[in-house]
Amino acid sequence: MFKFLKVALAAAVMTASVGSAAMAADSISGAGATFPAPLYAKWAEGYKRSTGIALNYQAIGSGGGIKQIKAKTVDFGASDKPLTPDELDASGLYQFPTVVGGVVPAINIPGVPTGKLKLPGAVLADIFLGKITTWNDPAITKWNAGLNLPALPITVVHRSDGSGTTFLFTSYLGIASPEWKQNVGASDAVEWPAGVGGKGNDGVAALVRQTAGSIGYVEYAYVMKTGIAYALVASKDATWPMPTAANFKAATAGADWAHAPGNYVLILNQPGANAWPITGATFILMYKEQANAAKAAEVLKFFDYAYKTGDFNANELYYVPLPATVKSMIRKQWSANIKANGAAVYNSPNK
């Protein structure tokens, strides 16, 4: 597993005051999605230099992050699968987005360069359903004139852990294929019809890299980090956009955060010639009622710092920062939603 996925930085002491009571918070902890883990590592490095406060983030998958925050073993959970408003209310949780990224089919097909293989959504679904089993199947070659696709068996690689990346990918397959929607569905963990499992985005990337004829799915930062080849997916407008930060941003054009209860927003198969079809936000989960006000305040200070100074890191790692208007809206939500003994734990400057 890549070392950059886990952040364990030495802690220093910082005093935070909430109301008239002063409490100390020297570190904060989080667990969950591997999708944003490279970015959270970068943000944590900067925050440690700036404040002396450490972040210990465990990149264990969105399913694990949801479980850990519900068990109250971490200060925040992280998930690329947003919880519905009903799910949030049932657990007393609040969620907010941090950045947007793209999920990309990762491939290892001898003789096929990156970014050349074209896969419509329905064909991609049939591959993961186990219905298309060789790379020279006519269902694939009809879209790829000029590519020398070998008579090589396809090995499907999927996540073995509960994963928000899986939620985004399977949700897209459900949009593209009625058969997938009916027989498999969309979730952070599904009963896969075919293939082998890898843990985390890094685990899937590693299996694809070492298995000729394989196809998996990973967050785009892992494509760029590992140099693994990727396939193109048809947009809703029947174009073939490249998976780039600019095209992830194009997919967010219609995202209506201001009218989304619980900040529940999915950004999949959006219209637009440049809109990458498998795009999604990643989210932070916190309890509305906090037992440790200083810890909760420090978590929000960390993400306030990330909102203010972290866009460069996000762009550098091929994520899409949130618009300033959305960041401002989220900051207002923090004061209204995260409290201890009825009082807001942290009033973030609305900048």
Q: Quick check: do 3-101+279-344 and 102-252 share a fold? A: yes
pLDDT of amino acid 210: 96
When pLDDT is cut at 50, 70 and 90, the band that residue 328 belongs to is very high
In contact, 285 and 31? CB cutoff 8 Å:
no
pLDDT of amino acid 346: 83
* Residues 150-208 pLDDT 10s: 999 999 999 999 899 999 999 999 999 999 999 999 999 999 999 999 999 999 999 99
The CATH number fitting domain 102-252, selected from 3.30.1330.90, 3.20.20.210, 3.30.70.2740, 3.40.190.10: 3.40.190.10
Domain ranges for the chain, please list them: 3-101+279-344, 102-252
* Residues 89-131 pLDDT 10s: 999 999 999 999 999 999 999 999 999 999 999 999 999 999 9
DSSP one-letter string for 291-331: S-HHHHHHHHHHHHHHHHH-HHHHHHTT-EEPPHHHHHHHH
* Residues 230-280 pLDDT 10s: 999 999 999 999 999 999 999 999 899 999 999 999 999 999 999 999 999
pTM for this structure?
0.88
Residue listed under structure tokens 């947009």: 235
DSSP one-letter string for 228-263: -EE-EE--TTS------HHHHHHHTTT--GGG-GGG
pLDDT of amino acid 20: 28
Mean pLDDT of the chain: 91
pLDDT of amino acid 347: 79
CATH 3.40.190.10 describes domain 3-101+279-344: yes
* Residues 65-83 pLDDT 10s: 999 999 999 999 999 999 9
Beta-carbon count within 10 A of 142 CB = 11
